[in-house]
Amino acid sequence: MSSKNLKEIADKARKNDFISISELMTGIENKVFSRKEVSQLIFKESHESLKIGITGPPGAGKSSLMNKLIPLIRKQNLSVGVIAIDPSSPITGGSFLGDRVRINNAVSDNDVFVRSMGSRAELGGVTELAEDFSDILAFSGKDIIFIETVGVGQSEYSVSEITDLTTLVFVPESGDEIQLLKAGILELADVFVVNKSDRKDSNLLVRSIKNILSSTKKDARKIPIFKTSCKTDEGLEDFANEIVSYFNSMKENDNIQEKKILRYNRRIKSIIEKDILNRFWNNERISLLDSIDKSSIKSKSPYELVDEIKGK
C-alpha cells in the first residue's frame, strides 16, 4: 500500500474509525506497513492512555474480568481498548454491552475496541506486536488499554515491559502454585486480583499473597489486592474504580512515569540492536555461517570463525 494511503488510514484511525484502526494493526501484522512508518505517523500524537497488563494462569478469569470491567469503566465515561494475546476465551466488551459493541464496531464512534492476537509466533515477537497495537489504540484515543496474556513464567515479564501497570490474577486453586512463583514475578505486579472469590479458600489466598509480599516487597502495604467474583460481581466495582483512579492520577504517579521512560529507553535499545543485527547479516556472512559443518568444528575455534565472518 502506498504511503499516501497509510496516511489517510492513520488520519481516520486517529478519529477512532474502527475499520482504520483494524487496518493499521493488520497492516503491521502482515508487514504491509513498516513499524517505523506507522510509528512515525502516530507515536507523537498519541493520547495519554493507561496501559494495563492482565496476566495469570489459564482459566483464572482474565477475560471474564475484562468483560465485567469494560461496562463499569465505560460508565465513568472512559474509553477502552483490549488486546488479548490469549484468544482462547472471547472478550465481548461486557455481557450486557456485548451486542451493542459489536454493532458499534461495524460503524464508527466506538468506545470499546477489542483485538485478539494469536500466540503462535515466538514470545518476543508477540509482545512487540502487542506493543505496536497498544500504540495504535492509544493513538485512536482509548483511555484504558488492557493487554491480556496467559502467565507462564516469561510472559509476565514481557507484558510488564509494555504496560504501565501489571495485574496478576490468581484463583483459590492457585494457592499452592503461588508459593512456587518466583519472587521476581510477584515483584513486578502492581495490582493483585484473587478472582473466583465465590469459591472457598479465597481468603486464605489473599492472606498468603499478603505474607509473600511483605517478605519480598518494601512497600507491600501499598499494593492493592482485590477479591473479585465474576459470578457474584464482588469486588468488581472497587477494582474498576481503582483503575479509573490510576488513570486520573497517572501524571502524578512516579512509578508509572518512570515506567514510561524505561519503556521508551528499552524500545530504543531494542530497535538499535535489531537494526545493527540486520545490517550485520549480509548474504555473504549468512552463507558463510550456513557452510559450517563437522570439519569447521574440528579446524576452527568459534572466535576464528567470527573473525572470518566479520571480514566478509
Ligand X SMILES: Nc1nc2c(ncn2[C@@H]2O[C@H](COP(=O)(O)OP(=O)(O)O)[C@@H](O)[C@H]2O)c(=O)[nH]1
63 counts as binding Mg ion under rule CB under 5 A: yes
DSSP 7: H
263 binds, among Mg ion, ligand X, none (CB under 5 to 8 A by kind): none
Binding segment for ligand X (CB under 6 A), chosen from 13-21, 128-136, 191-199, 206-214, is 191-199
CA dihedral 183, 189, 190, 193 (to 10 degrees): -110
Contact 28, 132 (CB under 8 A): yes
Pick 49 or 64: Cβ nearer ligand X: 64
Contact 305, 292 (CB under 8 A): yes
195 counts as binding ligand X under rule CB under 6 A: yes
- What percent helix, strand, coil does the chain show, rounded to 5? 60, 10, 30
Binding segment for ligand X (CB under 6 A), chosen from 159-167, 207-215, 225-233, 278-286, is 225-233
Binding segment for ligand X (CB under 6 A), chosen from 14-22, 26-34, 52-60, 296-304, is 52-60
89 counts as binding Mg ion under rule CB under 5 A: yes
Alpha-carbon distances of 259 from 16, 219, 262, rounded to whole Å: 26, 17, 5
167 counts as binding ligand X under rule CB under 6 A: no
- Binder of ligand X out of 8, 37, 173, 198 (CB under 6 A): 198
124 counts as binding ligand X under rule CB under 6 A: no
Binding segment for Mg ion (CB under 5 A), chosen from 80-88, 108-116, 186-194, 231-239, is 80-88
d(CA 107, CA 20): 11
d(CA 277, CA 267): 15
DSSP 280: H
d(CA 11, CA 268): 25
Q: How many CB atoms lie within 10 A of CB 83?
A: 28
Pick 74 or 227: Cβ nearer ligand X: 227
Q: How far is the CB of 237 from ligand X (least distance, A)?
A: 14
Q: Which three cell numbers stand for residue 28?
A: 503491521
202 counts as binding ligand X under rule CB under 6 A: no
- Return residues touching ligand X (CB under 6 A): 58-64, 89, 195-196, 198-199, 229-231
The residues that touch Mg ion, with contacts defined as CB under 5 A, are 62-63, 86, 89
